[in-house]
Structure 1
Amino acid sequence: MLLPENVEIIAYQTLHREAFRDLNHEWITKFFALEAADSNMLENPERYILEKGGYIFMALLHGEPVGTVALIKNPDGSFELAKMAVTDKAKGLKIGYALGKVALEKASEIKAPKVELLSNRKLAPALNLYKKLGFEEVPLPPNDYQRADIKMEIRF
């Protein structure tokens, strides 16, 4: 996939903790209220994502973090695509799509049986992106987020 030459996608490092938190805080509070499940993960992604076998990727524009996505490992070995965010100043550069592709490539590489996600129907651009990446809607089970009203997944 071709990204603008000044954009790169890299694996999360501890120095990205503040950017990971701020990028997600920006979009969540724009549309919803921050929930307890968000706060825990955003304040300590190492503990809640990485130490449990997950992955985080960061998108950098001119070296500055402008986007992120996480793969959170589920107990059954599948993963949840979560905490995807691109700052408003970097919209239109196809960074969200690139982050999604990198996450799905990682999931395929490690032989995850599926990747799922929770979202909200009012986030039409995000839902269109997920469909473009190959996700399909599935029944929504009870979950930890009040804002989640749709579940999607992709199987490998």
Structure 2
Amino acid sequence: MNHDLTILDYEPTHQPAFRALNHEWISHYFTIEPIDNEMLDDPEDYILAPGGHIFMARHGGEIVGTCGLIKEHEGVYELAKMAVSPRAQRLGIGWALGQAIIEKARQLGAHRVELLSNSRLGSALKLYEKLGFRHVPVPPTPYQRTDVKMVLDL
């Protein structure tokens, strides 16, 4: 248990950190795509307004992680834009964000949480599996990098 970790509800002042944390990992492994910038530049309209949620993780007084929940349609949400700063990895922050997002999905009446990822992100995939997600076939998506889809039935 990490006692210096606080999971916070997103506020508009978090947008630069939300953007920076996601840009950091996406640009490290892949290329930033137009759909990324749309979501990261305006998470209020893209994620929150349609009924989603975003959590931010604060550790050591600094925002070091984030995870979004996007409403796909009634009862189905997508776990998206999970990021933990490299300097704060392996501290249980991704696990805490994942647990918070799953609990929020339940509160919102979700019966399923889905996510899209990439097979190169081994640590992330292990985390999702530990959270209870299972692999399913990958449908067409707006992201070039997607080659993994996972679901969690609640």
TM over 0.5: yes
Cα distance in 2, alignment partners of residues 92 and 122 from structure 1 = 18
Structure 1 residue 6, shift from structure 2 partner: 1.5
TM-score by structure 2 length?
Answer: 0.97
Instruction: Report the counterpart of residue 132 of structure 2 in structure 1.
Output: 134
CA-atom RMSD in angstroms: 0.8
Percent identity, aligned pairs only, is 52
Task: Extract structure 1 runs of 4+ deviating beyond 3 A.
Answer: none
Instruction: Report the counterpart of residue 43 of structure 1 in structure 2.
Output: 41
Instruction: Report the counterpart of residue 55 of structure 2 in structure 1.
Output: 57
Structure 1 residue 111, shift from structure 2 partner: 1.8
Instruction: Report the counterpart of residue 100 of structure 1 in structure 2.
Output: 98
One-letter code of the match for 1:31?
Answer: Y
Structure 1: 5+ residue runs without aligned partners? none
TM-score by structure 1 length?
Answer: 0.96
Instruction: Report the counterpart of residue 115 of structure 1 in structure 2.
Output: 113
> How many pairs align?
154
Structure 1 residue 77, shift from structure 2 partner: 3.2
Instruction: Report the counterpart of residue 143 of structure 1 in structure 2.
Output: 141
Cα distance in 2, alignment partners of residues 76 and 102 from structure 1 = 20
In the alignment, is the contact (CA less than 8 A) between 2:75 and 2:109 conserved in 1?
Answer: no
Structure 1 residue 63, shift from structure 2 partner: 2.4
Structure 2: 5+ residue runs without aligned partners? none
Cα distance in 2, alignment partners of residues 64 and 94 from structure 1 = 15
Structure 1 residue 22, shift from structure 2 partner: 0.1
Instruction: Report the counterpart of residue 6 of structure 1 in structure 2.
Output: 4
Structure 1 residue 87, shift from structure 2 partner: 0.2
